[in-house]
Amino acid sequence: MGFLEGATLYGGIVDTGIGNDGIGTKDVINLYAGLTVPTPITQVSLGVAYDYQANGMFDDSYANALGGYLTWQMTQKLRFNARGEYATGSAGAFGTATGEGAELFGLTGTLDYSLWAHAITRLEFRWDNDLSGKGVFLDGTKDNAISLALNVIYKF
């Protein structure tokens, strides 16, 4: 497949089957598509992902997100990931309490280190911004949210 050799395409649909209870509610539907492609630099790959949810908060509500990411395998045990995301949604999406839709942008950087077999540690920094200026973060008055997390994960 030429330059797409080694690429991975993912897709999924989840229909919860929760709706159609006789009072007009609709099923919650989730759609996902993702593509990861290698680059000419062996240790670096690029990807894009799209998520869509219909009827999540209530009938005819929606939320969707488009993300791009870069993965750099720095050493056998150390990996760096960068991700940017743009998301929009109807009123109530992403936990917004306003009666209006949301428009968000986020950047995430992650250092991922494999301590030993089945154990991973991650240091992650994330910045989210409310592009609509409605102040959806923290106490409902902030346009920005910043987080720093350290995870230790053991895979069984």
SS (H, E, C) 120-144: EEEEEEEEEEECCCCCCECCCCECE
Q: What is the pTM of this model?
A: 0.79
Residue positions counted in the chain: 156
Q: How confident is the model at residue 21 (pLDDT cuts 50, 70, 90)?
A: low
- The percentage of residues in the chain with a pLDDT greater than 90, rounded to a whole number, is 48
Q: Is 52 helix (H, G, I), strand (E, B) or coil?
A: strand
Please check the confidence at residue 109 and state whether its pLDDT lies above 90: yes
Inter-residue contact 70 to 44 (CB < 8 Å)? yes
CA-nearest of 20, 21, 18, 46 to 30 is 18
Structural tokens at position 127: 């910045």
Please check the confidence at residue 18 and state whether its pLDDT lies above 70: no
Across the chain, what does the average pLDDT equal?
86
pLDDT at res. 34: 96
CA–CA gap between residue 96 and residue 137 (Å, rounded): 8
Q: Which element (helix H / strand E) includes 154?
A: strand 144-154
pLDDT (tens digit, 9 = 90+) per residue, 58-99? Answer: 667 788 999 999 999 999 999 999 999 999 988 767 665 555
Q: Where do the domains of the chain lie, and which CATH numbers do they carry?
A: 2-154 (2.40.160.40)
